[in-house]
Structure 1
Amino acid sequence: MTAHWLRQMGWQADVLDPATAPDLAPSKPSNPEWIREPAGVAQMSAPEMWTAMQGDPGIAVIDCSSSIAFRKAHIAGAWYCARACLADGLKALPSHVSTLIFTANEAALARFAAADALALGWQVQVLEGGNTSWRSAGLPMEKGAHRQLSPPNDVWYSPYEVEPERQESAMREYIDWEIGLASRLAREPGVHFQVLRAE
């Protein structure tokens, strides 16, 4: 589909046929330092984190998963904040919070986010194994867009992913956008769009 749209916009685009293409080995990164995970952030297991949360009201759990994933399921009591928004978002935490425990659906993301917060002066730890380990331990989860420290604009929401009460209007907005797309492209001088005929 992507190649089809690119061709209609005047770009040369082809699709690799895995049945006839030669074996492609993944290339090695030119600078492996870029992908090295940060060191120096303490980790704790899900049971240890659960115990700590019960005894210390100064702990806040920060989930850096996508806002869609957070809304679908997150650790009970966790706050949502996109990693890119930590510097401003963490300022909105209650004043009694002194320690942050980072988690995410991807554990590596939580470690990077914790390192960012550490550089901002926060006391931080990371949930070992991320949300998967918490869920596997059978510990409390909840869903919904609660406790958001940054706006949920990190990803595009399809009409099926917005709040149930907004789904119908979102679908209508998308259909209106799609119907009017061809005419808008025709008025755009920088886009050379030509609908391809079926062969």
Structure 2
Amino acid sequence: MSTLSPYKIARAAVFGLLDVSMRLSPGLMSAELGVERDRRARLGTMRHGEHAFVLTSSAPRGIAIRLDRCLDVSFPVEGPDLAMQAWEFSQEHLRPAVTVLSRQLDAAVKEVIAAEHAAGEVLRDPRIAFASAPLPTSPKHSAVATRGGVSVRATLGYDMIWRRAVLTLDMLYGLRPVREVAR
């Protein structure tokens, strides 16, 4: 019986995040919120605060987005959990975790839109550019998967206080109103 690797977990998490986000109403990938992402972006490993340059339909010449937001969710895992089949692990552990990530992303997008309204910018058709970049990994204990411009890192660690293995899913991303470019 093989164990799940961080890469297999990260890959399942990014697919699950995209799936859950499209199903939630409205979700990160929902047209209702006007979120645009560069699905072809191939960004290298980046750190908090760096800028990513992406192309979207509202900014076809490109837009620089500061990667200044992080999301993460952690949960305990045990040996038998890592011996599960990938689909079984996804249903039992990843689906709830990526639902949390999706709701956090959704709240962040709504926060950006609310900030625009608070600043006196009443946008009839708000467009928010989204960028996500891979976070650094360690060779044995973490891996990153990217799909459709969204990157998720999975890290297996050990909690010394509770004496148990912990899986963390996290992502580095940025949001920017596209109207800033039009000025």
| Alignment TM-score > 0.5, same fold | no
TM class, shorter-chain normalised?
under 0.3
Larger Rg: 1
Structure with greater proportional helix content: 1
Structure 1 length-normalised TM = 0.25
Higher relative contact order (CA 8 A, sep 6+): 2
